[in-house]
Chains A and B, each alone.
Chain A
Amino acid sequence: MSEETPEVSAETSLHIDPYERNWMRLTVVLLVVFATAVTIAGFALGFQVPSPEERVDPRTVAIGDGPFADPGLREYPDGSYDLYIVSQMFSFSPNEVTVRAGSEVTFYVTSIDVQHGFKLQNTNVNMQIVPGQVSKLTVTFDEPGTYDYICTEYCGSAHAQMYGTLTVEK
């Protein structure tokens, strides 16, 4: 008894239903559109994601002569600020900051214990705060108002109490 191998033509084996083909085309078009939009935001419009600025020792970063030993605002003659923030369970230091509208603020945030998050509400500032690393991001505040910053990484029982306020004055 011999078994015959069924003949499969190329046309039959490569058959793709028109609905499936159109779905694949639409998927590719969407991916290209989304990737193009992200590329334009990142390279043409200058949107950048947070970067690890430097490595530090979390046991000693908040003591001694470094900027994190005296966290807070540093104002420069051109009206810009550097803001050094130390995060620890369950607070940010400082937790109240005031800057002028139109000023450029560079955030330097580090942790001295566990991993935290730093999210400045209603802005694009959103960073992971890893012990042993300084996270940096610069943003310009054009609109006066109050912006709360919160910890977005669960860090313990009082995680929900870990927040601060940045006020932008006219």
Chain B
Amino acid sequence: MEEIKSTEEEFHPKGTALVLAIFVLVLILLWGTVYLILLSRGMTTV
């Protein structure tokens, strides 16, 4: 257990975390943009 804990303490993949943060941000921005375009174009009904 001590070995695992010491590995955890040293494991800080800041570069990977940054890349994933950018990925999530882009995902949210793209999705949000499309959603706002959908709303701005008005309702469609059947």
| A45 in contact with B39 given A51-B46, A137-B46 (CB within 8 Å) | yes
Binding site for A on B (CB under 8 A): 1, 4, 8, 11, 13, 16-17, 20, 24, 27-28, 31, 35, 38-39, 41-46
Given A18-B8, A19-B13, are A47 and B38 also a contact pair (CB < 8 Å)?
yes
- A-B residue pair count with CB separations less than 8 angstroms: 61
Contact partner of A30 among B28, B38, B39, CB < 8 A?
B28
Bound complex: CA A138 to CA B46 (Å): 6
Distance, CA A9 to CA B39, complexed state (A): 52
Question: What's the nearest-Cβ distance from chain A to residue B30, in Å?
Answer: 12
- The smallest beta-carbon distance between B6 and chain A, in angstroms, is 14
Write the chain B residue with the least CB distance to A51.
Answer: B46
Is there an interface contact between A139 and B35, defined as CB atoms closer than 8 Å? Answer: no
Give the residue of A9, A19, A124 whose beta carbon is less than 8 angstroms from that of B44. Answer: A124
A161 close to B (CB within 8 Å): no
Q: Does A2 contact B (CB under 8 A)?
A: no
Shortest B27–chain A CB gap in Å is 7
CB–CB A124/B38 < 8 A? yes
Inter-subunit contact A124/B41 (CB<8 Å): yes
Report the separation of the CA atoms of residues A125 and B43 in the bound assembly, to the nearest whole angstrom.
10
Known pairs A19-B13, A34-B31, A140-B43. 4 more at Cβ < 8 A? A19-B11, A30-B24, A47-B43, A48-B44
